[in-house]
Structure 1
Amino acid sequence: MTKRLRLFIPLLFWGLQCFANFDVNANCTKAYKCILQFKLKAARQAIDAEKSMHPQNSFAILLDDYYDYFWMLSTESKSDYDRLKENKSKRLNKLEDEDKTSPYYNFALAQVNLHWALLHARFGDNSAAGFAINRAYKQLNENQKKFPAFLPDDIPLGMVNVALGALPDGALKSVLNIFGIKGSITSGINLLQNATLHLPKSAHAMYYDEAVFYTTYLQTDVVNDEQAYNKMLQYTTGMDNSNLLKSYIQGYIALRTGHSNEAVHFLKKAPEGSEYQPYPYLDYLAGLARMNVSDKSAGNYFNKFLQTNKGVNYIKDAYLHLAWEALLDGNEKRYNAFVQFVKTKGYTYNEKDKRALKEIAGVPYNTTLLQARLWFDGGLYDKALNILKGKDAGSFTVKDDKAEYYYRLARVYEAMDKNMPALENYQQAIVTGKTSNTYFGPMSALRAGNIYEQLKDSAKAVSYYKLAIDFKNHDQENSIEHKAKEGLKRLKR
């Protein structure tokens, strides 16, 4: 071998290494998995080691963004958001100069845009969120055309489609309408379910937990899938018990689907230790779940959340639940003190905190209706039914309480698969709530439409969906109207 050739060969391989810009090696896989498990200290060490050993590996840029995203999920800190949000443009600028022939090129760009779209929206920066979603949507569609077999794309593309398809009228939707992009809930869910089905046996198996994270959330909070809880149990079977994300998914989905006793169990089993990033939100969820099943320790979890939380969300709602606890205990002084905290503490970036202010604006909650509401949310339908059947509409002197009584009774009957009494009480709630600005009337019309749609009575379903839209100037108006319009679309009316 000539001396010139011996010099050329190392240069050749050096050049190949320089342009292998997205190397998902063992160290990167470890860092990614640690992030998803909320083991952020270990993730930080692995990312920094990767940067030191392989400074040309652009996958580390994406890992940095995942790290910031999960950090923000755990802290909910506005100051951290303001400090870290400049990283988005810096990372995008770096990634745009990388290997455009890799399926990770547009995937990485889209993931950075999507992470920050979600964070922008979380802190009320809807214009920035809209622009970021638009970019992510275009990048993912381009990637799907170039690399249709690249399975990781299905996760963010599915999420964007569902989110866009389900977005009610509001500031964020107004921004997105400028770009003329529309999503599809059905297409999005199909993409996510395809990912959860095929990822475990693919070369991209490491993305399974992330697919489960988004799929279960969207099936529960957006699609309202009746099988969301059972699907979650199936999906999370393949996740490691040492994964804090698994405990979050199980606890959150159980709580949101009327399985509060199970939520208490899942959250109690959450792994602990110094290797995990502190996540106060789990204490807030535990407080909600325990209060729904009349567990007297609920207040301890709300207080722990308020003491350790450095973020801006759910503060007002936590104080609201402490106020409700005092109200149910008959402690008026303590109730009034917490009402003041709802008014003066926390922020209103989050819908639950906005609603908390409305909840305490009038007279104190009727304790019968409040207890029935909590038991219903907890899945204790027999208890909720018994306390409501112990009263009648004439027991309530406030008009809005009458509407809520019928609405709560209808919700319980519907949950118990007793459609006829559910429909009768929804109709009473519609009549009683016609001149109110509460959501009981329009929500009753929406849910009656859902029942008739399930019963294949399209004419009545359409009638009730239109009735839900006809209600104006009430709580949750955008959300209810959007869901009613989606119902009309399904029925092609």
Structure 2
Amino acid sequence: MIKSLRFCALAALLIFPFSSFANFDFNTNCLNAYRSIFELKLGNAKAYISTEKKQHPNNSIIPLLENYVDYFTVLTSESKADFDRLKGNKSSRLDQISDDDKSSPYYLYAQAEINLQWALIRGRFGEYFNAAMEVKRANNLLQENAKKFPNFHLNLKGLGLINAVLGNLPDGALKTALSTFGIKGNLQNGLNMFEKLADNLPKSSYEPFYEEVVFYYAYVLTDVAHSPLAYSKTMKYTERIADTSLLKSYLQSYVCIKNAHSEEAISILSKRPEGGVYQPFPYLDYLEGVAHLNKLDLNAATYFNRFLQTNKGVNFIKDANIHLGWISLLKNDKSAYASYATKTINNGYTYMEKDKQAKNDATASTPAIDLLKARLLCDGGYFAKALQVLDDKKTSDFSSDRDKIEFNYRLGRIYDDLGKDDQALSAYQTTINLGKNQKHYFAANAALQIGKVYENRKNVAKAKEAFNLAIAMKNHEYESSIESQAKAGLRRLN
């Protein structure tokens, strides 16, 4: 009899995953709120949540949805004030859920999600110890839930994210804090979990969670795994998301820019949905500025200035200012460049790698125009044009050591992207010879790229040698990111 009751409960969960338990009821109001959240229509989501509060005040899906709203409010605003104002909501939401139905698969899952969302946000504002504590709690809750409800597919979403991020986390304060708790991850396991969910959710009753899975999967592929498949997989899995979703525009344009598809990013951003129903998202103006400047379109200044005027957040201020400085330099206005370099140093924060590097660029000597053009064009995917800029140049044409090193590094990246491996390897090796004892990232990243070339050639010995060389170089820009990618390369080879 007991076995029969358990079977019936499990069958009900698989067929009706949203409404099996009265106090964790993913009913129509909640589903509409959830869908609105993932289209970045946060005002609509709040209205649906308010209706649900009046109709079913004890529904413990409500605090989870409210936390999603707070999460995306902070994510889109990048505002420390919003973060400080909203983070106090966490404990009361967890209290409400913890008093509810322990026999529901949403009982532990909802608590884990709230902890994980705040961990992701805290990491953006430097609260690494608290973030590590929340990751630990989320991991424990999801592991327990997976044992109790092994067929509850949503466990894989949080576990996939934790595995992926922890499996390839750069050295730093967050990794140190997490290591204190003995939490480890596995990048490939995390990627496998996301792949399984992205492929199977559309064919299951969990289909409404598809967009959230793709949101995290795209992030992991692009920013954690630095996968060469990030662009193709993100575009594939976002295709079925409605064009009314502003989040879709963000995901697609971001992965396009990160993977040298600036022309496509410009097209996507120009067609993004607009109107008062959508959450303000100044970062999209910043992205549009990056995409335009990568094709040397100096009208990019319009987008960077709009970002700086509307942005209430703490991130990408330095990076926007250095981009405006580069625009001035491309106009041959060195005085304006110097002014923007000063703004880059003095304004904004350095929570993000982009802002740290912007400050480094601003404190360095004024970049050579040809190297700047090649850098931007290469980042944008305009490889043939980038090569034209440098084709008639040689190392001795540049006066400073930094420019000599960067010239060879840029050539290496361009040849690499054009599929000219032998020329790329030669330029990368020259970069290492000239820059291995410098603080600039060029030599270390050149070693990383050599490792990837040899990995693709199935030359394991030379790939390992190059990855180890990248790890051995210390005290340079982007050190933690380059080292984590090199270690990931070694794990792939092993």
Matching residue of 1:407: 409
Query: Is 2:285–2:303's contact at 8 Å kept on the other side of the alignment?
Result: yes
Q: What are the residue-to-residue correspondences of 1:288-307 with 2, within 5 Å?
A: 288-307=290-309
Per the TM alignment, residue 486 of structure 1 is displaced from its structure 2 partner at its CA by 2.4
Distance in 1, matches of 2:398 and 2:46, equals: 58
Give the match's secondary structure for 1:360. helix
> Any idea what the Cα deviations from partners look like across 1:203-257, whole Å, max 9, x if unmatched?
1111111111111121122222222222222111111111111111111111111
Matching residue of 2:131: 129
Matching residue of 1:374: 376
Matching residue of 1:268: 270
Distance in 1, matches of 2:238 and 2:455, equals: 31
Query: Is 1:469–1:484's contact at 8 Å kept on the other side of the alignment?
Result: yes
Query: Is 1:445–1:468's contact at 8 Å kept on the other side of the alignment?
Result: yes
Distance in 1, matches of 2:371 and 2:21, equals: 64
Per the TM alignment, residue 478 of structure 1 is displaced from its structure 2 partner at its CA by 1.9
Distance in 1, matches of 2:280 and 2:234, equals: 24
User: Do structure 1's residue 172 and structure 2's residue 178 form an aligned pair?
Assistant: no
Query: Is 1:317–1:356's contact at 8 Å kept on the other side of the alignment?
Result: yes
Give the match's secondary structure for 1:277. coil
Q: Bigger CA drift: 437-446 or 224-233?
A: 224-233
Pair 1:183–1:18, CA change in 2 (3 A): closer
Distance in 1, matches of 2:53 and 2:487, equals: 50
Matching residue of 2:254: 252
User: Do structure 1's residue 450 and structure 2's residue 452 form an aligned pair?
Assistant: yes
Amino acid at match of 1:455: R
Distance in 1, matches of 2:461 and 2:193, equals: 32
Query: Is 1:293–1:374's contact at 8 Å kept on the other side of the alignment?
Result: yes
> Any idea what the Cα deviations from partners look like across 1:354-411, whole Å, max 9, x if unmatched?
1111111121011111110100000000011111112111111111111111111111
User: Do structure 1's residue 320 and structure 2's residue 322 form an aligned pair?
Assistant: yes
Per the TM alignment, residue 334 of structure 1 is displaced from its structure 2 partner at its CA by 1.4
Amino acid at match of 2:219: Y
> Which of 139, 150, 153 matches 2:152?
150
Amino acid at match of 1:96: S
Per the TM alignment, residue 19 of structure 1 is displaced from its structure 2 partner at its CA by 6.8
Amino acid at match of 1:132: E
> Any idea what the Cα deviations from partners look like across 1:79-135, whole Å, max 9, x if unmatched?
111111111122112212211111111110111011100111000000111000111
Q: What are the residue-to-residue correspondences of 1:208-287 with 2, within 5 Å?
A: 208-287=210-289
Query: Is 2:32–2:45's contact at 8 Å kept on the other side of the alignment?
Result: yes
> Which of 64, 79, 82 matches 1:77?
79
Q: Bigger CA drift: 331-340 or 168-177?
A: 331-340
> Any idea what the Cα deviations from partners look like across 1:463-483, whole Å, max 9, x if unmatched?
112211221211122222222
Distance in 1, matches of 2:481 and 2:78, equals: 24
User: Do structure 1's residue 204 and structure 2's residue 237 form an aligned pair?
Assistant: no
Pair 1:18–1:432, CA change in 2 (3 A): closer
Per the TM alignment, residue 25 of structure 1 is displaced from its structure 2 partner at its CA by 0.2
Q: Bigger CA drift: 472-481 or 18-27?
A: 18-27
Distance in 1, matches of 2:314 and 2:202, equals: 36
Distance in 1, matches of 2:313 and 2:473, equals: 36
User: Do structure 1's residue 483 and structure 2's residue 485 form an aligned pair?
Assistant: yes
Distance in 2, matches of 1:439 and 1:221, equals: 18
User: Do structure 1's residue 60 and structure 2's residue 62 form an aligned pair?
Assistant: yes
Distance in 2, matches of 1:316 and 1:466, equals: 32
Matching residue of 1:141: 143
Query: Is 2:226–2:485's contact at 8 Å kept on the other side of the alignment?
Result: no
User: Do structure 1's residue 395 and structure 2's residue 394 form an aligned pair?
Assistant: no
Amino acid at match of 1:476: Y
Per the TM alignment, residue 427 of structure 1 is displaced from its structure 2 partner at its CA by 0.5
Amino acid at match of 1:431: N
Distance in 1, matches of 2:442 and 2:109, equals: 43
Matching residue of 2:12: none
Matching residue of 1:471: 473
Distance in 1, matches of 2:107 and 2:401, equals: 58
State the identity as a percent: 47
Query: Is 2:249–2:268's contact at 8 Å kept on the other side of the alignment?
Result: yes
Distance in 2, matches of 1:294 and 1:242, equals: 30
Per the TM alignment, residue 18 of structure 1 is displaced from its structure 2 partner at its CA by 13
Per the TM alignment, residue 199 of structure 1 is displaced from its structure 2 partner at its CA by 0.9
Kindly tell me the number of residue pairs found equivalent between the two proteins: 476
Per the TM alignment, residue 421 of structure 1 is displaced from its structure 2 partner at its CA by 0.7
Query: Is 2:353–2:478's contact at 8 Å kept on the other side of the alignment?
Result: no
Matching residue of 1:11: none
Q: What are the residue-to-residue correspondences of 1:425-464 with 2, within 5 Å?
A: 425-464=427-466
> Any idea what the Cα deviations from partners look like across 1:115-164, whole Å, max 9, x if unmatched?
10011100000011100011111111111122122122222211111100
Matching residue of 2:88: 86
Distance in 2, matches of 1:309 and 1:481, equals: 32
Query: Is 1:18–1:56's contact at 8 Å kept on the other side of the alignment?
Result: no
> Which of 400, 420, 434 matches 1:418?
420
Q: TM-score if structure 1 supplies the norm length?
A: 0.94
Runs of 5+ unmatched residues, structure 2: 1-18
Per the TM alignment, residue 170 of structure 1 is displaced from its structure 2 partner at its CA by 0.7
Query: Is 2:21–2:104's contact at 8 Å kept on the other side of the alignment?
Result: no
Per the TM alignment, residue 487 of structure 1 is displaced from its structure 2 partner at its CA by 2.2
Distance in 1, matches of 2:225 and 2:429, equals: 24
Give the match's secondary structure for 1:151. coil
Distance in 2, matches of 1:218 and 1:183, equals: 13
Matching residue of 1:13: none
Give the match's secondary structure for 2:363. coil
> Any idea what the Cα deviations from partners look like across 1:15-35, whole Å, max 9, x if unmatched?
xx9972100001100000001
Distance in 1, matches of 2:217 and 2:20, equals: 36
Give the match's secondary structure for 1:207. helix
Matching residue of 2:44: 42
Q: TM-score if structure 2 supplies the norm length?
A: 0.94
Query: Is 1:167–1:173's contact at 8 Å kept on the other side of the alignment?
Result: yes
> Any idea what the Cα deviations from partners look like across 1:411-442, whole Å, max 9, x if unmatched?
11111111111111111000010221111111
Pair 1:482–1:231, CA change in 2 (3 A): closer
